[in-house]
Every structure is written in structure tokens, then in C-alpha cells.
Chain A
Amino acid sequence: MILLKDVCKTYELGETPLKALDHVNLSINPGDYLSVMGPSGSGKSTLLNMIGLLDRPDSGELYINDIATHSLIEEERAKLRQNNIGFIFQSFHLIPRLTALENVEVPLMLSKTPKHERREQSMKILEQLGISSRADHLPKQLSGGQLQRVAIARALLMKPSILLADEPTGNLDSRSGSEVIELLEKFNQEGITLMMVTHDVQLGSRAPRKLQIIDGKLSEVEKHHAFS
């Protein structure tokens, strides 16, 4: 359960302040599948970062699983982020000097899990995503689709309650793009909340809940209809 109440965020860019989020109210239920669309610079990414606890609102409240995140200190926010939120980025963001397996392991390394345990868990998730044969490859030896799968494995490793995807297919060809989307939707059906930022209308319309941001103002495009 994620709840945003009157969240505002303004960036000082040059002389005119840019309203990235303007009194945003949003409630996300566990297992929801949302897409966020809007022109560039409208505040899509800001919303994602806000929910991902990478950014702080200027005003307003943000609850994740009933925890008032706006009053947490940075270290507590990092902990919450580690345990509840999985990020997927347009440009994958794998560490180039680490193998696929080691990249997947990073969140467990940050949480001080012993090595053999993290190996085991990471291998399992790579198998689940069908790329365990690439475990020992460096990112430069992998294709775009494979890179994004490694990134998804890393995002899922900590069993987050919400997956935040920022243009996850932006750097992929259409075939591996749709494979990645199908993969994400599969995990959503298994119960993980999925929130995806995109400017691809076709992709955005796949989500039962469609949000639109224009100049920092959030609106719901359609009421959600029954998911069958």
C-alpha cells in the first residue's frame, strides 16, 4: 500500500521554478499495475523517484506500507528502499567490472548477506529469468535484452513489494522489449506492484491503471476496469 498526499516538488531551474509535482494525490494497492505517461519534463521520473525514496517531497506526505517516509532519516530511507523497492532503469545500470551474477548480488551484499547464501539466491533468480548460462559474463558480453533481465533479477532479488520501471524498453529492440514487458507482467500477476514510466502509448495502454502527468499535475486516464 502506497499513499501520496498533496505531494509537491519544485525544481529551481534557471530563473523560473519548475513544478515537477503539483499537489499529487495517489493511492496504490498491492498488486496494482500502473503506467505513468506524459511529455518529457512533465514530472514522470520525479514521481517515480519520489515513490522510490530517491527524492524527498518539498511538502506533502508519502506512506509506504503505513510508514511515514517523509519523516525518516536518510539511513532509514535507504533501508526501506532496500527491502521494499526494486528499480529498473532504461539504461540498465549494471556495474561494468562485475559479472552478471555479481551484479545481481549487489543488493544482498549491501545487506550483509553471507556469500554462499547470496550466490544461491542470485543463481536461482537468474535461472527463473532464463539467463543462468550467462551468470559469469561481464555486461559488455551481453545483449540488451539479457542486460535488462540481469537488471530485473537484481530488482527482484530482495523480494520487493513494488517494482519501479523507468522506460524499461527504451533501449531495446521491439522483440526483446516485449519479452521484458511480458516478464514484468508475469511478476505483477504473481503479486508484485508494478509501476512503469513510459512515453510509449502502446506500452502504457497495457496497464489496467493509466496515469498521466502534465506540468506536475497527476490525473487518472480511465477508471480501472475489472482485471480478468
Chain B
Amino acid sequence: MRLVDYWEFSVPVFKRHIPRTLLLTLAIAIGVCSVILLTSLGEGARRFIEQEFSSLGADLLIILPGKKETQGGAPPIYGTTTRDLTLEDVQAIEHISTIDKIAPIIAGTALITFQNRSREVITMGSTPAIFPIRDLTLGEGRALPENSSTQHVPVIVLGSKIKKELFGNQSAVGEWVRAGDYRFRVIGVLEERGESLGLDLRDMAIIPVRSAEMLFNSPALFRVIIQLSQSNSEAYTEQRIRKIIAERHEGKDDISFVSQDSILSAFNSIMLTVTAVVGAIAAISLVVAGVLIMNVTYISVAQRRHEIGLLKALGATGLQVKRIFIGEALLLTTAGSVIGMLLAFSGIEFVRWYWPDFPIAATWWAVISAIVTAFIMGALFSWLPAAKASKLDPILAMRGFS
């Protein structure tokens, strides 16, 4: 039989069993669609993170206290710090020519109280440089004063959510709040904004770094964020900083660096893995579709025993009979894949329209693997029933016996 003959021989079969054909096509379409759609969401998330990073602007370098071999993974959870990184260390390095801005950070949680309302809040001690570096904008009021790194100034900038929870709709700027044992005057409120790098900035408070030293009763810096004045100067800057810090820490090289690039590539590889895993999970629906194909092919073989016996009596080989049934399964797989792709791409267009900020995108490898998987399932699961058909005894089959 030639290819066009298989087509003409099988299409009337589908026309005779329209509900069955449609349901099977739908099952395959859903499988293909879910693989493409879910991996596209994963890819979108990856691009979203990439965008977030690049929106931070210039090259960032982060210094963490403690020595840790790192390729840009998460910062150390428990301290291996031999010696604290302090504000004095930061002052010693801030004159390096390649450093544009430098923001030391001390972080902790503090109970912030206004009148009878209080909230446990992540409080970050820093300098005014943190605002441009983390791309923070003020909804009202002003940022931290310039002398944040030299002296305790009792001022605080609140995240928008905290402000709302403590003050409601009333104006916060100029009011005094209590944080731990100290009183701070609210000088600014951050602009309403989504999450940034997994940190909900609406739920934070920022105070001068010296004040944080007092509040948390420790000079140890959580980290130092540096914005470089020119790109590709990371290695040079890192080397200079290591040298200066080592001199100040009795010769010990006890700090670690994380660059924006290394974080980005770490996120990238994590997201790719997540996307692939999500795709693989979605591919389970293709296996389910495959089982359906097997079931329907078995039914078809049983219903067409006469026909199979006849074809063999007319000189069809077992191979030809097998090809007819596998071919029918693959035809349905093709239809299902095309419909699934159309569904997936319209789904992607819908997400684009509904959520324009999210850079959802279909990846070619996901589309190809979805379709290849569908075809493997189609061939694999129709194989058994087709082989059964090819082995039917023509005489018994024509008489309707098994």
C-alpha cells in the first residue's frame, strides 16, 4: 500500500466513529498543549527573572562575610564568619576607583509600633546608596540622609504595605514610630511595587546603617552591595577588595563575592531545570493519551476482525495490516498535535494579552519534544493492538471468532 492509500483507507474509519475520533484527538491535543504551555510559563518565569536583574541596571557585586566557595548559589545560611565584616571595612574600600556606589546592609527583624499597632518587620540598615542600587523609588517623603553611615539618625523609610498597616490612610511622613528600644521618625514611604528578587519590598523598613548597628546591637554586616562604575571591572574590584580586607583582617581572606552574572546564571540553570521538570510532568498526560490510543486501537481491531481477515485473504501481509492500525493512530496523533499546538499558542497569546509584563514564550525544544513524545506514544501504544491484528487468523477472523 502506498501512503495515500493508507490515508484513503483510514479516513472513512474516522468518519464512521466521529465521537471516538474527536475524543482521542482531544486527549492528545491536551497533552501536547499542556507540555508546551507549562514549559512556556517556565520559560516566561526565567525571562522574567532575567528582566528583573537587568532592570537593576549596571553591574552589581555583592560581598558576603565569611569564606565560602560559591558559584553564585544562595548566601550562607549559618555563619562561618571568622571575623565580622564591618562599616569600617566598607569605609576602607569605598574609595576604590571602579566602585560607583556602595551600600552596606545590616538586616534583622524588629517590632515596629505606632500608637497601639505593631508589626514584626524585616528592617534593613543601609545608606542612601541602597535606593538607586536596588531601584527603590519613594512614593512620598525622602530617602535616608547622607550621614547614615557615620552616625545614628532616628529616621525610617517604610514599605508601602507596612505604612498602610500601621497608619491606614493617614499620612505617615513626620510621625514617630517605635522600633525595639528606639524611636524613629518616618521620613519616607516606598512606592507601591511588586516583589523584587523574592524580597517583598512592601513589607520592609529601611533605617540608617548606624542606627541598625545600635538597634540589633551588632556591627556585623549582612552583606555589602556594590555598583561598579564600569562593566567588566568585577575581577579587578574583587581583587582590590580582597587585598584591603585581608590587611584589615589579620591576613585572613574571609569574605565571599557574588556577582550579578553568577546569580543570573544560577537562576537560569535552576529555572531551566524547573521548566524541564514541569514539562516532564505535563508529558504524563501524553502517556494517558497513549493508553487511550491503545484502548481505542484494541476496540478498532476487535470491531474490524472481518476486514482484517479479508485483507489477509486478499493478499495483505501481516506488516501491511500492522501499518494500517499504527498509521491510524499516528494520523490521530498528528491531528492532536496540530490542535494541541494551536491551543498552546493561543493560550500563550492570551497570557500575553492578559498579563503583558510576563514574558511568556514557547521554547523550540519544548514544542519539539512535546510532538516527538506524542508520536512515540502513538506508535508505542498502538503497536501491541496492531501486532495482535497482524497475527489474526484470517479464516477465524472472517467468521468473527477471536
Contact = CB atoms under 8 A, between A and B. Distances in A.
B21 interface: no
Contacts, number: 64
Contact of A78 (B5, B15, B315): B315
A75 B319 contact: yes
B359 interface: no
A97 B315 contact: no
Nearest to A78: B317
Interface residues on A, range: 20 to 34
Interface in A71-121: 74-75, 78-79, 81-83, 87, 89, 93, 95, 97-98, 106-107, 109-112, 115
Interface string B1-35: 11011000100110110000000000000000000
Interface in B306-349: 306-307, 309-320
Interface stretch (A48-56, A58-66, A210-218): A48-56
Contacts of A83: 315
Nearest to B317: A78
Contacts of A44: none
Contacts of B318: 74-75, 78
A131 B169 CA distance: 92
A75 B390 CA distance: 11
A137 B146 CA distance: 95
A93 B319 contact: no
A87 B309 CA distance: 12
Interface in A142-173: 154, 158
Contact of A97 (B12, B311, B394, B395): B12
B398 interface: yes
Interface string B294-313: 00000000000011011111
**Chain B contact patch, size range:** 20 to 34
Contacts of B12: 97-98
What secondary structure prevails in chain A residues at the interface with B?
A: helix
Contact of B395 (A54, A74, A75, A98): A54
A79 B315 contact: yes
B315 A111 contact: yes
Contacts of B9: 109
- Residue among A54, A81, A95, A110 having the largest count of chain B Cβ atoms under 10 Å: A110
A110 B395 contact: no
A79 B317 CA distance: 8
A158 B313 CA distance: 13
B310 A81 contact: no
A97 B306 CA distance: 13
A45 B16 contact: no
Given A93-B310, A95-B307, A97-B12, A110 B1 contact: yes
Nearest to A94: B310
A77 to B, nearest CB: 9
Nearest to B9: A109
Contacts of B313: 52, 54, 81, 87, 93
Nearest to B5: A109
A219 B9 CA distance: 43
Contact of B315 (A49, A55, A95, A110): A110
| 9 nearest A-B residue pairs (beta carbon) | A82-B315, A97-B12, A78-B317, A93-B310, A107-B314, A81-B315, A75-B317, A109-B5, A87-B313
Interface of B: 1-2, 4-5, 9, 12-13, 15-16, 306-307, 309-320, 393-395, 398
Given A54-B395, A78-B316, A82-B315, 17 more contacts: A45-B395, A52-B313, A74-B317, A75-B318, A75-B319, A78-B317, A79-B315, A79-B317, A81-B313, A87-B313, A93-B306, A95-B310, A97-B13, A97-B16, A98-B12, A109-B9, A110-B1
